[in-house]
Amino acid sequence: MKLVFATNNPNKLSEIKVLVPEGIEILSLHDIDCNEELPETTLTLEGNACQKAMYVFDNYGYNCFADDTGLEIDVLKGEPGVYSARYAGKECKAEDNINLVLKKLDGEANRIAKFRTVIALIIDGSETLFEGECKGEITLGKAGKEGFGYDPIFLPNGFDKTFAEMKQNEKGAISHRGKAVEKLVEFLHR
């Protein structure tokens, strides 16, 4: 079975490829010659994931799934949430987003946060959603070089190292995306 994963994020692609069993071939947007930016204009992770997946299905004709992920910080009332990618501004880098989060939490004792991923799968036009979350806390400073995004400041519950200090398979086994993909794979096997 061929399935497009509606992303060009190489980190997300490689995280997902190792989680999906043989028999399911994952294609990237690049693989299907889709070089445009996908619309992502709703105010929820669910809405954005569906919007991206449906766009690929409608315009390129492939069965497809898309994910949208947000970092939700308790004392910031769920921010950055759906705005996680551009929290520090339109053209910002991951480093800028991290610095803004650390600044907003400066002196704050409650650092509880979670990552939440929603995957929207479109098969022959019909849509199914899968969700995964990973609870943890925001560290006082950055640690680690693996992963991407907010990984250097996210300490998952029960671990003494950040996502950025974990190998990809270690992160995948406990991460928000790993859990959502597990549900997706289970569904595809039914």
Of 22 and 37, nearer to ligand IMP (C-beta) is 37
Cβ-based neighbours of 79, under 8 Å, separated by 6 or more: 72, 73, 87
Could you confirm whether 68 is annotated as catalytic? yes
| Residue 150 binding ligand IMP, by CB under 6 A | yes
| Residue 137 binding ligand IMP, by CB under 6 A | no
Run of H or E including 27 = strand 25-27
| Residue 151 binding ligand IMP, by CB under 6 A | yes
Among 137, 177, 180, 181, binds ligand IMP (CB under 6 A): 177
**Shortest spacing between CB 163 and ligand IMP, in angstroms:** 6
Run of H or E including 121 = strand 112-123
- Length of the chain in residues, anyone? 190
d(CA 21, CA 4): 15
The rounded radius of gyration (Å) of the Cα atoms in the chain is 16
Site for ligand IMP in 69-98 (CB under 6 A): 69, 84-85, 94, 97
Spatial contact of 168 and 17, defined as CB atoms under 8 Å apart: no
| Residue 148 binding ligand IMP, by CB under 6 A | yes
The residues carrying an active-site annotation are 68
Which residues make up the interface to ligand IMP (CB under 6 A)?
9, 67-69, 84-85, 94, 97, 115, 147-151, 163, 175, 177
